[in-house]
Structure 1
Amino acid sequence: MPSDVEYSPVGEGLGMRDFWLYVWLRRVSVMAAHVTGLGLTLIISRLSRPGTSLFSWHPVCMSVAYCLCMTEGILLYSAEGSPFCFKSRKGKVRLHWLCQALVLIAAGTGLGFVVASKNVSELRHLVSWHSLLGSCTLAASLLQAACGVTLIFHKQLHLSSSLPRLKLYHATCGLVVYLLATVTVMSAMFSDWFQAMVKGVTWWAYLLLPLFPALVVMNQITNAYLPRRKMSS
């Protein structure tokens, strides 16, 4: 059954494709999102001093998973400012899957370290908002990965929904997972561990930093996958 949903490339749905200022602003914002994701990963890794304790590896693994790999896995589809803009669609899909696989591996490793750390210290699990949000983010990441599998094996699974609709659902759920991950990262900055090392204006800057790539990702997905009714001639 043909779908009544049409997908527009980034920016075209807003009718702003021909404005050079808009194009350059998008390029700058996407490149800034790349830098922000990498910068957050490096900052958190430096603050955690990996190797000093079991827990020290938890922030490193989680920042690599969600600040770096998940961000890059989504932004590589951006038409402006992506370092993978020269790749074919098939190549981008493969890179996307590689990034998302690294997300699950790094997040699972980070979960293992924090569980081991709490067991050694004899501390209770899931007693903070950060831990609860983190558990929801991990569960949502697994469900989103399973949803992505259905796109690859769409024909073999004989699903009733059309492939464009499945792509729309996958992108929408992916946005929800990314925003949930952003909230989880921000909640970590309210922990005693983070506030003991970062204070004052710097803390506020770090708190707001994850919002920038989240806004860029939200804009990219909504512009690329926002459904619109086909116009009848």
Structure 2
Amino acid sequence: MPSDVEYSPVGEGLGMRDYWLFVWLRRAAVIAAHVTGLGLTLIISLLSRPGTSLFSWHPVCMSVAYCLCMTEGILLFSAEGSPFCFKSRKCKVRLHWVCQALVLIAAATGLGFMFASKNVSELPHLVSWHSWLGISTLAATVLQAACGICLIFPKLLCLSSSPLRLKLYHATCGLLVYLLATVTVVSAMFSDWFQATVKGVAWWGFLLLPLFPALVVMNQITNAYLPRKKITS
């Protein structure tokens, strides 16, 4: 395996007409992912009616953390459809730090509200798949943030891997964390609270919404970091 990873080009091998169609489809998908993440966050925040109880802040904080901040923190590196496409790479990296810091703050706050709500109601902790997935997602997010710090200060931490390889590891782990967060969000829709709040066809719509940004994020990362291989017939 080579020491450096070559980025796979977008639209390689396509004709000019097909290439522009491909670019516009990718741009539309990225814009739709932005809208989906923001819309899902707003709708969940409205459904939870923040302030009515301690628990009501939990869905708000977690949707802000993972549906909005984490999604935007990854999509801002997209070349198509990102509102930050005109910014320099250095500026995008700094915005990525800010978004990921907000993810940790919002997620920790949401966990605190859930913990307090359970204690007030005298209910047991960690009794559902969603709760276990949530704890796992938060732990993975903290580890991924630590990986990001290693990427920022490789010489200070005396890391032997090349910066390009560290970026590959960071992006791959970030994709896994995002997919785990998506599974956690989807599992929340099977909770008693959500099923009592949203019913019928709307529930199925909500179930599918988090999957679309996940597909866009997965496509973005694999296109940017997948090793380039020549295919011969």
* Alignment TM-score, normalising by the size of structure 1: 0.94
Q: Is the 8 A contact 1:17 1:23 kept in 2?
A: no
Residue number in structure 2 paired with 1:183: 183
2:125 corresponding residue in structure 1: 125
**Number of aligned residue pairs:** 228
Structure 2 residues not aligned, in runs of 5+: none
Structure 1 residue 78 corresponds to structure 2 residue 106: no
Separation in 1, partners of 2:199, 2:7: 45
- Mapping 1:84-233, distance limit 5 Å: 84-228=84-228
Per the alignment, in what secondary structure is the counterpart of residue 157 of structure 1? coil
Aligned partners of 1:179 and 1:214 also within 8 Å: yes
1:229: how far off? 5.6
Q: Is the 8 A contact 1:62 1:106 kept in 2?
A: yes
- Deviation of the 1:15 alpha carbon: 3.9
- 1:139-179 residue CA offsets vs partner (Å, 9 max, x unmatched): 00000000000011011122111110000000000000000
Letter in 2 for 1:86: F
Change (3 A) 1:8 1:33: same
The runs of 5 or more residues in structure 1 that have no matched partner are none
Q: Which whole-Å CA distance do the structure 2 matches of 1:17 and 1:112 have between them?
A: 53
Aligned AA (1:143): L
Would the aligned equivalents of 1:6 and 1:229 in 2 still touch at CA under 8 Å? no
Cα distance, 1:228 vs structure 2: 2.6
CA deviation profile, 1:121-156 (whole Å, cap 9, x unmatched): 000000000000000000000000000000110111
Is the 1:34–1:72 Cα contact (8 Å) retained in structure 2? Answer: yes
Residues 97 and 17 of structure 1: CA distance in aligned 2, closer, same or farther (over 3 Å):
farther
SS in 2 for 1:196: helix
| Secondary structure of the corresponding residue to residue 203 of structure 1 | helix
Residue deviations 1:168-218 (CA, integer Å, cap 9, x gap): 000000000000000000000000000001111110000000000000000
Q: Percent identity?
A: 83
Superposition deviation, residue 16 in structure 1: 4.5
For 1:208 and 1:121, locate their aligned partners in 2 and report how far apart those are by CA, in whole Å.
32
Residues 5 and 229 of structure 1 are in contact (CA less than 8 Å); yes or no, is this contact kept in structure 2?
no
TM-superposed CA distance for 1:3, in Å, is 2.2
Q: 1:17 to 1:150 in 2, by over 3 A?
A: farther
Distance change (3 Å), C-alpha of 1:16 and 1:97: farther
> Contact 2:23 / 2:80 at 8 angstroms: preserved in 1?
yes
- Alpha-carbon distance between aligned partners in 1 of 2:15 and 2:212, rounded to the nearest angstrom: 22
Match of 2:190, SS state, is: coil
1:17, 1:168 → 2: CA distance?
29
Q: Give secondary structure in 2 for the equivalent of 1:111.
A: helix
Q: Any conservation in 2 of the 1:79–1:85 contact (CA below 8 Å)?
A: yes
Letter in 2 for 1:192: D
Checking the alignment, whether the CA contact within 8 Å between 1:48 and 1:56 is kept in structure 2 is yes
- How far apart in 1 are the matches of 2:14 and 2:115? 48
